[in-house]
Structure 1
Amino acid sequence: MPLSTPSNRSLFHTRSVKCQGYKREDGLWDIEGHMTDVKAYDMPHPDTSDKTLKANHALHDMWLRITVDMDLVIHDAEAAMDSTPFEYCPQITPAYKQLIGLQIKGGFTKQVKALLGGINGCTHLIELLGPMATTAFQTTHQIRRQTQDWTETGPVPKIMDTCHSWSRSGPVVKRKWPHFASDAENDS
Structure 2
Amino acid sequence: MSSTGNISGNGKRGRRLAHTRTITCRGYELADGLWEVELRLTDVKPDDLVLRSGIRFGGMPIHDMAVRVIFDESMFVREVIATTVGSPYPGTCGNVTPAYEALTGINLMRGFRQMVKQAIPVESGCTHLTELLALAPTTAVQTLVEARKDRKAGEMPYEIGRCHALSSSGAIVQKHYPHWFIAQEK
User: Considering the TM-score relative to the shorter chain, is it more than 0.5?
Assistant: yes
Say which SS state the counterpart of residue 184 (structure 1) adopts: coil
**What is the DSSP-based 3-state SS (H/G/I as helix, E as strand, rest coil) of the residue aligned with 2:135?**
helix
Match of 1:134? 138
- The equivalent residue for 2:32 is 26
Per-residue Cα deviation, 1:75-110 (whole angstroms, up to 9, x for no partner): 011011111111311000011111100111142111
SS of match in other structure, 1:138: helix
Residue 38 in structure 1 maps to residue 38 in structure 2: no
Which residue of the partner structure matches residue 11 of structure 1? 17
Matches within 5 A, 1:98-117: 98-117=102-121
Q: Which residue of 1 aligns with 2:182?
A: 182
Structure 1 residue 179: deviation in Å? 1.5
Rounded to whole Å, the distance in 1 between the matches of 2:56 and 2:173 is 51
Name the structure 1 match of 2:88.
85
Match for residue 74 of structure 1? Answer: 77
**CA shift digits 1:111-153 (9 cap, x unpaired):** 101111311211100111122321111000231231233x3xx
Q: Is the 8 A contact 1:30 1:68 kept in 2?
A: yes
Segments of structure 1 that go 5 or more residues without pairing to the other structure are: none
Q: Which amino acid aligns with 1:29?
A: W
Structure 1 vs Structure 2: percent identity of aligned residues?
34
Total equivalences in the alignment: 179
Higher helix share: 1
Residues 51-77 of structure 1 show CA distances to partners (whole Å, capped at 9, x for unaligned) of 211111111000110101111111011
Uncovered stretches (5+) of structure 2, i.e. residues with no partner: none
Offset at residue 162 of structure 1 (A): 1.1
CA distance in 2, matches of 1:20, 1:43: 30
Matched ranges for 1:115-130 at <5 A: 115-130=119-134
3-state SS, counterpart of residue 144 of structure 2: helix
Give the root-mean-square deviation of aligned CA atoms: 1.6
- The two structures have a TM-score, normalised by structure 2, of 0.89
Q: Which residue of 2 aligns with 1:143?
A: 147
